[in-house]
Amino acid sequence: MQHEKNNVSVGDIDISYTQVGSGPAVVFIHGLAEDKSSWNAIVEQLAGSFTCYSVDLRGHAETTLGNPQGSVSQLADDLIGFVKTVTGPAACVGYSLGGVIVLAAALKSPVLIKHAIVAGTSSKVGRAAQQFFRERIELLKTDPFSFAGELSKDTDAQIIQARDMVDQVALKRVAAVGKGAGYINAAQAMVGLGDAPMTEQLGAILSPVDIIHADRDVFCPAKAADMLKEAMPNAGYYEVAGAGHLMSVDQPALYAQTIDAALTARIS
């Protein structure tokens, strides 16, 4: 399937994205140590019903770094700017870090982020996770080779079913990190989420929200999804069975079907 590749200037950065399919616009935001291609297997299953836009985050892959602030707020502004410039009001699907960005953007601009779907996402970062991100930032700055090894170990732990894909996915994730400035910026944003959790703000989101959780995700466990559900009692909830944190690798067909169901249920 042909993925049309484009670039657009938004604020201080040039955003690289792909477009495929036809129908209502849906914007896909990847997680940490990923890029827009991580959505390929998903958007190809949705392209018959939706126009799917997959975006590289600030400093990741082919999107420029600009003047990074290491904040969720800035990353949310990047998404809002993209939607305003390229798609108009759209549903947005965010995975892990991407889900945090989508929720922050929906808080800021419910007119543009008209439906938020968040997968493998937490609204807060605990002290242990903060320390994890700080250590990864320092390792990437001082010893990129060792960082790549640690990222490969993480990838191994995030894939439950598709064990034959671990090495291939790990190599793709290391390549997505590249020189690391985008990863460092985004990891700093996650550290900040530990100091200023989003949980208490989520009830103010005016857009419909749907939560997707993988039943074998140890990186973003059930308690994270429960926290989101408690903060947003009107949110929809879906579960992807037989998947670890990397749902798009473990269960791509089921994951795509789940996203499709969430999107279709909200179309009036």
Q: What mean pLDDT is predicted for residues 34-40? A: 97
Output the pLDDT for position 134: 96
Strand ranges inside 180-252, DSSP E: 209-214, 236-240
Residue scoring higher pLDDT (126 or 50): 50
Name the nearest CA neighbour of 9 among 93, 98, 84, 100: 84
Within 13 Å, how many C-alpha atoms sit on residue 152's CB side?
Answer: 10
pLDDT in tens, 208-260: 999 999 999 999 999 999 999 999 999 999 999 999 999 999 999 999 999 99
pLDDT at 2: 74
d(CA 268, CA 265): 8
What percent of the chain lies above the pLDDT cut of 70?
Answer: 100
What per-residue confidence (pLDDT) applies to 3? 84
Q: Can you give the pLDDT at residue 268?
A: 63
Mean of pLDDT values over 30-47:
97
Domain locations in the chain? 4-266
Residue 7: C-alpha distances to residues 46, 54, 64 (Å): 22, 11, 10
Judged against a pLDDT cut of 80, whether residue 114 lies above it is answered with yes
At residue 29 the predicted structure's pLDDT band, cuts being 50, 70 and 90, is very high
Residues 6+ apart with CB under 8 A from 15: 7, 8, 9, 55, 56, 63, 78, 82
The pLDDT tens digits of the residues spanning 70-93 come to: 999 999 999 999 999 999 999 999
pLDDT at 101: 98
Mean residue pLDDT of the chain comes to 96
Tell me the residue type at 101.
I
Domain 4-266 has CATH 3.40.50.1820: yes
Tell me the average pLDDT across 115-120: 98
What is the tens place of the pLDDT at every residue in 138-193? 999 999 999 999 999 999 999 999 999 999 999 999 999 999 999 999 999 999 99
Round to whole Å and give the CA distance between 205 and 180: 32
